[in-house]
Amino acid sequence: MATPKDTSASEAPAPRRRRTRAKRADRYHHGDLRAALLEEGKRLLDQHGPSAFSLRDVARRLGVSHNAPYKHFATREALLAALAADGFQRLAARMAADACGGSLHAAGLAYVGFALEDPTIFRLMFSGAIDKTRFADLRAASSVSFAALRARVATVAGENDVDLMAVSAWSFVHGLANLLIDGQLPSGLDGGHGKLEIASRVLRTYAGSSKRNTRTEDGAIART
């Protein structure tokens, strides 16, 4: 009688393959690779900044081929431009929502609030890392965000030049946002308040000063 053949070795389960990368790569073939590139690109940007940013690193972190990102972004700058354009769109939407009553103070506070919540993208939006002349979507998005601020300025401009007032207000809130991000305000100014509360107080002071200066200038013009 023949001895039964030992099949334990042949029936042993094969080592499990690491399928995580394969599953992720397969998922990106179904149309969401662009969104994944933007999401992972943002993470990489947060960690290392634009100088160390590359499409190859984004692809590696996603587990896709090095060539896969080029189906959506021709260069690293194109991906950075898309991230910046999204930032401008979110900034414009926030200013429109937070200043729905037409308050210039609310629009300025929304601007500073956005910068404080996402300083990486805020810096990218206004950095020299991207040549805006090469990206129409980025130019359009940046124009929309400025238009949102200009619309608030127009409600208080009176007979003053709206564009000049808008640039003045933009310069002020942009500088304030950067000072707060970098922690460059005088140490005794906070008084135990958070950065957004400080911004609110500074913006109200600026608004009050601007109104007084406008009345003074109007009076001087009337006397001439």
Lowest mean pLDDT among 134-143, 170-179, 198-207: 198-207
Which residue type sits at 50? P
Cα 17 vs. chain centroid, distance in angstroms? Answer: 39
Higher pLDDT, 14 or 187: 187
pLDDT for position 99: 66
Ranges for all domains in the chain classified under CATH 1.10.10: 20-73
Strand residues in 145-221 grouped as ranges (E): none
pLDDT in tens, 124-143: 999 988 999 999 999 999 99
Q: How confident is the model at residue 218 (pLDDT cuts 50, 70, 90)?
A: very low
What pLDDT score does 216 carry? 44
C-alpha span between 63 and 61 (Å, rounded): 6
User: What dotted CATH number matches 77-223?
Assistant: 1.10.357.10
Structure tokens at 206: 């600026």
Task: Say what percent of the chain tops pLDDT 70.
Answer: 75
User: What is the value of pTM for the model shown?
Assistant: 0.78
Per-residue tokens: 221: 């013009």
- Positive or negative torsion for Cα 164, 96, 36, 73: negative
Burial per residue of 30-45, b for 16 or more beta-carbon CB atoms within 10 angstroms, e otherwise: eeebeebbbebbbebb
pLDDT beyond 60 at 87 = yes
Listed in order, the ranges of the chain carrying CATH 1.10.357.10 are: 77-223
Mean pLDDT of 187-211: 80
Check whether domain 20-73 has CATH 1.10.10, yes or no: yes
3-state secondary structure of 41: helix
For residue 110 the two structure tokens come to: 């929304």
Helix axes 162-182, 104-117, angle to 10 degrees: 40
| CA-only gyration radius of the chain, Å | 26
Helices 162-182, 136-154: crossing angle, 10 deg rounding: 110
Which pLDDT score is estimated for 27?
Answer: 55
For helices 33-48 and 76-98, the axis angle rounded to 10 degrees is 90
131's torsion region: left (phi>0), alpha (psi -120 to 50) or beta?
Answer: beta
Q: Percent of the chain having pLDDT more than 90?
A: 56
Give 36-67 pLDDT, tens digit per residue: 999 999 999 999 988 889 999 999 999 999 99
Q: Which residue has the higher pLDDT, 193 or 74?
A: 74
